[in-house]
Amino acid sequence: GHAQAGPAGQKAAVAGVRHIVAVASGKGGVGKSTTAVNLALALKAIGLRVGLLDADIYGPSQPRMMGISGKPTSPDGKRLNPLENYGVKVMSIGFMVPEETPMIWRGPMVMSAINQMLRDVEWGELDVLVADLPPGTGDAQLTMAQQVPLSGAVIVSTPQDIALLDARKGLNMFRKVEVPVLGIIENMSYFLCPHCGERSDVFSHGGARREAEKLGVEFLGELPLDMAIRETSDGGHPIVVSQPESPHAKTFRAIAERV
Ligand code: ADP
């Protein structure tokens, strides 16, 4: 049953779930969902019991990235069984509505959907539930950061100034609601040409590391812009499970060890 909401709102723990770790970004398109799915699979690979909550209500990408289709079943018409692939349990609004349907919901409906996906789902015993948050620092994100009992947040940013500015806003949002920021990951950190091997700093490079130092948070690691990262996650078999020996999979497992 539901625990009572105390003075801290609905921040009651989720039964059976030890830690909820949010993956957040200040803006869209920086690779937040790609990072969330690979981090979840990396946490699984290092031996933890893992779930993945797709809280990106307006743009759910986890059904596709996890290679899962179908609808969750319900044992009693109220609680939902999550779907599962690669040993990770997943819940997403994308299982409930067709991909091309726009989610035209206001904040309160978003919050109620998230609360249901969090609390009315048979997660079972989990060491970590990774939550792929919607991009940005709007009202919905703030409410979510306040109401979901987060153990910590990981922020994904590309290296250039504008993305970092948004990442900084995200960081301040979590600080405001007293959610520990576990660190920053720099995605699309540089580009390695698959033909000649030359490296290009497409979005500049190292900005997130410098920013992390300045802000006093951990720098967790960097992932290059690499077609293999896109093809594998867009194809439903993310690089951590499809190419476990690749340097990128190793980076994700190293990050998983640190969060
Ligand atoms: P966000 O969740 O921040 O909106 P996504 O994770 O959905 O971003 O990524 C946006 C697109 O960029 C996707 O097609 C994804 O496969 C691709 N992508 C993300 N990270 C990388 C990367 N490091 N290298 C190549 N493509 C990437």
Task: For residue 35, report the distance from its CA to the centre of ligand 1, in Å.
Answer: 8
Closest of 60, 119, 122, 42 to residue 89, by C-alpha: 122
Q: Identify whether 8 is part of a domain.
A: no
CATH number at residue 64: 3.40.50.300
Q: Is 177 or 8 the better-scoring residue by pLDDT?
A: 177
Contacts of 7 (CB under 8 A, 6+ apart): none
Q: Is 201 or 104 the better-scoring residue by pLDDT?
A: 201
Q: Identify whether 33 is part of a domain.
A: yes
Structure confidence at residue 247 (pLDDT): 95
Task: For residue 75, report the distance from its CA to the centre of ligand 1, in Å.
Answer: 35
Phi-psi region of 31 (alpha: psi -120 to 50; beta: other; left: phi over 0): left
Structure confidence at residue 118 (pLDDT): 93
Q: Identify whether 253 is part of a domain.
A: yes
Segment 19-60, tens digit of pLDDT: 999 999 998 999 999 999 999 999 999 999 999 999 998 889
Does an H or E element contain 132, and which?
strand 126-132
Q: Are strands 219-225 and 152-157 parallel, antiparallel or unpaired?
A: unpaired
Which band of pLDDT confidence, cut at 50, 70 and 90, is reported for residue 4?
very low
Q: Which residues' Cβ are closer than 6 Å to ligand 1? A: 25, 28-34, 61, 135, 187-188, 223, 225-226, 229-230, 233-234
Which amino acid appears at position 160 of this protein? Q
Q: Identify whether 96 is part of a domain.
A: yes
Task: For residue 122, report the distance from its CA to the centre of ligand 1, in Å.
Answer: 29
Q: Quote the number of domains for the chain.
A: 1
**Mean pLDDT of the residues in the chain:** 90
Tokens of 16: 């059976």
Is residue 30 a known part of a binding site?
yes
Q: Identify whether 7 is part of a domain.
A: no
**Which span out of 55-64, 208-217, 243-252 was modeled with the highest average pLDDT?**
243-252
Q: Identify whether 5 is part of a domain.
A: no
Q: Identify whether 74 is part of a domain.
A: yes
Of the chain, the percentage scoring pLDDT greater than 70 comes to 96
| pTM: predicted TM-score of the whole model, two decimal places | 0.93
Closest of 13, 9, 11, 35 to residue 22, by C-alpha: 35
Segment 166-213, tens digit of pLDDT: 888 989 999 988 999 999 999 999 998 888 888 899 888 888 998 899
Q: Identify whether 12 is part of a domain.
A: no
Which range marks the domain in which residue 59 is found?
18-258
Query: Is the C-alpha dihedral spanning 181, 182, 183, 185 positive or negative?
Result: negative
Contacts of 131 (CB under 8 A, 6+ apart): 20, 21, 22, 23, 36, 53, 55, 148, 150
Least confident segment among 26-35, 60-69, 132-141, 151-160: 132-141
Q: Report yes or no for ipTM above 0.95.
A: yes
